Amino acid sequence: MDAQIRDIVTTELAPTATAADPGGLAAAVYAGGRVTFFNYGFADAASKRPITPDTLFNLASLRKVFEATLVALGSARGELRLDDPVGKYLPELHGDYISRVSIGELVTHTSGLLLPTDHPPWPNERFSRDQFIAMLNAWTPPPGVAPGKQRIYSHAGYVLLQLVLERRYEMPIGALIERRILQPLGMTSTFMPERTEDNRAVLAPAIMQRVVQGYSDQGTPIGPPGNQESYYDFAGTGQMFSSARDLGIFIRACLDGAVIDPELRAALAMTERESFRIDEKIGQAMAWEDVRLDGVTIVDKPGGLNNASAYIGLVPARRFGIVLLANRGEYPHEIARYRILPAIARLYPPPMPIR
């Protein structure tokens, strides 16, 4: 079966990461209790530095999965409640609408929030924490929008979730993720660095040497290695960086939780459960989407910037999954959801019904 899985993955991935394509691609597949790595192209085309399982990529919105796990873990431990209003932790939020939004609605994208930083035309300026709070207090929804009544993907909602978590635990978001998720799982190559004035990640030189150069989908270099992008200029609002090897550890924990702490195992499983139905095929969980295709349910999360693409897809019922990391914008990650994962699923018998 290992050879069959390798054939499926290489057949689909190789044409998307040829010598003519910008940058490169790192993939990790967890199946049958093992992680297999696939590497294509260059971390830096100018120096011909190749992609390896230890190359570090910008995770873009995959960061949200880790913040959702913090919420689930806090809920399981009785440290917070999903129905807590955000104002319980941030009393400076007193606007009519935002005061009715809960933690659970932020983490499932059902708050209704849609700020200027969430959609085109993208703003040219960056916002301070005070400006962000002011925007939230002043925000009014369009007709028909109410907390918990719709799914609207919101980056701003997760920036607010960061502030809630930091206030609840009196700790920066990076330290929370490190102590509560990365250290327990043994993920030693995943980082949430602060950034310099020119938006470069603050990382030790030995670590920075493993970071990719990012490219547009047309092959233009964008920013230096370690480039971070954010519309906010306060601490903790940049991106995470990780490797295919470290994310292989993460998907193994999601799929085969017997190897980790029971509370963290339960929290990871909690994040994957659908809480809001979007349409007949797709439901929203905590950061993840639950996708029902013919004969298989996929739990996944994409992320992307103009110089980075990332994807995690899981099939929990059959305990396999995939990570895709590319150092270019607009990588076609949909091939994992619609082609690779369904093809691998056909190699595994469906789980027996519980009687």
Query: Peptide bond preceding 143: is omega within 30 degrees of 0, i.e. cis?
Result: no
Residue-by-residue DSSP string for 141-158: PPTT--TTSS----HHHH
Whether 111 is catalytic is no
Instruction: Say which amino acid occupies 215.
Output: Y
Tokens at residue 277, please? 């139905």
**What is the sign, positive or negative, of the torsion defined by CA atoms of 28, 66, 160, 57?**
negative
Contact yes or no for 93/134 (Cβ under 8 A): no
Burial of 73 per CB tally in 10 Å (0-12, 13-18, 19+): buried
Tokens at residue 104, please? 């659970």
Contact yes or no for 55/243 (Cβ under 8 A): yes
Report how far apart, in Å, the C-alpha atoms of 160 and of each of 14, 109, 157, 239 are: 39, 12, 5, 15
Instruction: Say which amino acid occupies 288.
Output: W
What distance in Å separates the CA atoms of residue 293 and residue 288, rounded to the nearest whole number?
A: 16
Residues linked to residue 58 through DSSP beta bridges, in sequence order: 241
* CB within 8 Å of 81: residues ≥ 6 apart: 75, 103
Catalytic residue of the set 47, 61, 111, 242: 61
Residues linked to residue 190 through DSSP beta bridges, in sequence order: none
Identify the DSSP state of 85. Answer: B
Contact yes or no for 87/274 (Cβ under 8 A): no
- The number of beta carbons lying within 10 Å of the beta carbon of residue 103 is 25
Tokens at residue 284, please? 């929203």
Contact yes or no for 203/211 (Cβ under 8 A): yes
The residues assigned a catalytic role are 61
